[in-house]
Structure 1
Amino acid sequence: MADTGHHPPARRLTQGGGRGLPRRWGTLTLGLVLLALAPGTPPVPVDAWADEAPVGGTAAPAGTAPPAPERVQAQVEPPVDPATQVDILTQRMRGIEGKLKESAAARKSADQARMEAERRLAEGTQEAARLSAELVRLREAKADLETQLRRAQEQNADTAAQLAATAHQVRDLTTAAAAQTERGADLERQLEQHRQEQRRDEADFLGRLRAAEEAQAGLSAQLLEREGNLTRLNAELGAVKTQRDALDERLKTLSALVPTPAGGALTLEAAQARSATAAAALRNALTRAEAGGDAQLKRAVREAQQALHRAQFTAAQVAEAHSVYQVRPADTLVLIANRIYGDGARWRAIREANRHVLADPDRLTPGLTLVIP
């Protein structure tokens, strides 16, 4: 066996062909080579490794029956070079190692993808929680604004109804004054007619007095009666003028209470003066309520707040302002400007429009009604 001359292939296996293989695979390969070199041992057929993944080849179909002994014997001949078998085995081992490395790389990529998905899922969960909290806050703010809007609409409806009633009363008084004026004109025309008739009667009376003395008594009676009628008509005319003067004064008084846009003569200075008086009354009522605190004082505070609200609403109409706002506890001009305009820097405009009721712009009285320009 030492003189067969096959030692150089075995040395090439250990020096070059088996380099880089795992130790167990190198041992197995060396055993197969020695077995192939042993006398009387047939060479290992290539189909014996069909169960392993080929390197660049095609695997044997599944369910293929092993070859018959006669066919195997035919395949064994002629003998295969052991160095060729070693190269084939080395290539297959390298293919298996490459597939193992590809599997490990694929597993590592899958783990990284799973960790990235878990991270994104956690971030999405946190973002969903934050958006849910923000949605709840926005819904609460919306409900609060809807409540304020409903109250403001109710107050505006009440004030509009009062203004409509006042305007209706002014129209009625204007109609009555016009009727009285027309009545006075009618009385003046009647008086003039009676004067003309008196003059005619006097002339006729003087003529008849010279013509017949017996008709003097009747004419004197008629004259006295006409003079009585004239006196009565003069008295009625004086009463009508007095009534007309009183109606004119009443009309001026009511016109001074109605804003200019509604057809009245109320000026912005007068409206602001009324609001300033109502604000002072509210501050006095609050001072007394803080000192006493009984139900009567609290009712006085509410009445003062309502009077100020009506005065400020009228002032807002005269100034053609945007709306009015009733101060709540902990309110500031910046908060009110931010709530109404969405810009807290516009608090100065609110202060300028309410200087007549603001004793201290840094300290707002709860219940105080502000004009929103």
Structure 2
Amino acid sequence: MKTLPLTLATTALSLWFGAVTVQANESLDNDLSAMAQSALKIENQELTRRLKEANATITKLQSDKLPNSDCTAPPAVAERADQTDQIVTLQRQIEALEAKLAQQATDAAATATDSSAKLRQQLTEANSHQNRLSGELAQQQQQLTELAQHNSQLTQQLADIEQHKSQLTQQLADIEQHKSQLTQQLADIEQHKSQLTQQLTDIEQHNSQLTQQLADVEQHNSQLTQQLADVEQHNSQLTQQLADIEQHNSQLTQQLQQAQEQAEKQHRTAAQERNAAIAAHQQLQRLPRVLGGESSAEQLQANGAELLQPFHTLRQQLAGSGSGDTILQRDFEQIVQQIRQQQLLLALTLDARGTYITRDKDSLALIAQRHYGDGKLWQSIYQANQHLLENPNIIHQGLTLIIP
């Protein structure tokens, strides 16, 4: 873009120089012609003066040569001869002057013609250079027009880019705000996940302890079994000596009974611990996959749906018995808490916005208005909690709903 003004300036300077050169050539031609004409004019004037003087002399001599009517005496012959010679000489001088004048006029005309031809040649070359520069100037002006048009297009494109940039900046601000909200939700989820992980670690540690205890019980049971075999073998041997060792046999039988009771007690304890370990493993399997469990969203919804029947049963029983039955109230609160735990796990699996515990006189439209600012979005809440809501128009108090 910086080269164009320099090129235009160079072209304009070349045109000006060509014009000045043409004007200078024309001025020089005029000056040379004027000088030649002036010199020729001066020399012509000098030759004319001298010619006039010669003619005047000739006229005078001729006048003197003619006979004078007033004079009675004729001139002398010698004087006439001298006058005749002078007249001839003067005529020769006049002819020489006229020839010289003609030659000078011819030379001056030839010189003027040569100078004029050279100047016309220079003028033709200057005109050709001027025409070439005019063509280049036209091309430069065409390029300048095209560049001005392209610059206008680039200016419009730049304005469009600035407008698009402003839109992108606004979108980026919205994204950053949404990212901040998601980061806060992720921090809450991570904290809850950390708590669940700690609980899972405690359960696994307790499960490991129970497993070790079960192994110890089985090893002890094996030892007791071996001891029992030894006792039976010894009893077989003692049977042959029954008469001599009946009293000792009675003591061993009592010890065997105690050992069997102890073994049975240990078996029951080991079975209880095994059942507890199995229940802990089943509870771990009920956790969603994001927390290391095996339950999918459909399984979590099915688990929540299984709790819906006891929820309605206890709610109806509690409504019929009044608020004085603490056992029903405790059982109902446990069911409500279990449903809440299942819904929290499902919300974590579905990456939901959060959860909401229903209140008295709540409706899906009212809940949607609170969370989304638009009650018409109640169907999103209904679809996410359809496993708990049999009728979207009936919302029971105490249920935990997922807010997608």
User: Which of the five TM-score ranges fits, normalised by the shorter chain?
Assistant: 0.3 to 0.5
Q: Which has the higher contact order (CA 8 A, sep 6+)?
A: 2
Select the structure that is richer in helix.
2
Structure 1-normalised TM-score? 0.47
Structure 2-normalised TM-score? 0.45
